[in-house]
Amino acid sequence: MLRYLFPPREGVDRKTYIRSSLVRVTLVSMAGSAMITLLVESLTPHPNYLQALFVAVLVPSVVAPPLIYWHGAAIFDLEASRRRIEELSRTDELTGLWNRRFFWELAEDALRLAARHHYPVSVLMMDLDRFKTINDRHGHQTGDAVLEAAARVLHAAIRKTDVLARYGGEEFVLLMPHTGGGEALWQCERLRRELAARGGEGLPRVTISIGVAASDRHGHDLDRLLVAADRALYQAKDQGRDCCVLSA
């Protein structure tokens, strides 16, 4: 019952949730108990409203807090576990970005909205250059660290409205609402420079190749945009890597 009346809000810590639940539920219990008791007393031949009201308020104030404390703690822990499981099902474990499955859900919703309101959307397919060489020379642990670092750089460089995900292996995908092909290509160059300029952390430097596809050329269909962006990505690889190509 507590879970449905007072569900734990995201960002609220355990102590705050239990304290607020104690106060709210105890007050509600006392008010309900007082109303029922006064109603029953009014139907008795010799009502004693003061005594009845005292008992009605006293009992919930004694009984409710320990019950709510135990129940609230259990509900908070259960809700925290549920949110954690939900988060893991949507995010990539290594990089913390959205995973491929959840990207599809977000992207299809974004594209439907864009088609309805007639604004452009661009999709970027991004691949770290010569990533296999990093794994072979430095080991997979270093390779994972490079992926994490690259994900942080890309995530820090995108806009709040953009949707960034790890698509698989060393490949990332980015959906950019309200962005036509020309602006997407400019943003693509900015991302490429940001990653190329990354330093520190004791990790090998990496570059990135990016293919761009825009809805003003390929429509608001996710499959078509991904295919076009992937084709442009291979053109970027063929042109020497560390560059951006806009799909025709």
Distance between CA atoms of residues 209 and 244, nearest Å: 6
Q: Could you give the dihedral angle defined by the CA atoms of residues 177, 178, 183 and 184, in that order, rounded to the nearest 10 degrees?
A: 10
Distance between CA atoms of residues 2 and 21, nearest Å: 8
Task: Count CA atoms within 13 Å of residue 247 on its CB side.
Answer: 26
Q: Find the length of the chain.
A: 248
How would you class 115 by CB atoms within 10 Å of its CB: exposed for 0-12, middle for 13-18, buried for 19 or more? Answer: middle
Tell me if residue 189 is catalytic: no
Q: How many angstroms from the chain centroid is the CA of residue 31?
A: 40
Q: How many angstroms from the chain centroid is the CA of residue 183?
A: 26
Other C-beta atoms closer than 10 Å to the C-beta of 44 total 9
Q: Which residues pair with 127 in a beta bridge?
A: 171, 209
Q: Which of 10, 170, 171, 183 is catalytic?
A: 170
Q: Which residues pair with 91 in a beta bridge?
A: 98
CA distances from 127 to 5, 9, 43, 63, 137 (A): 47, 38, 79, 61, 19
Residues acting as catalytic residues: 170
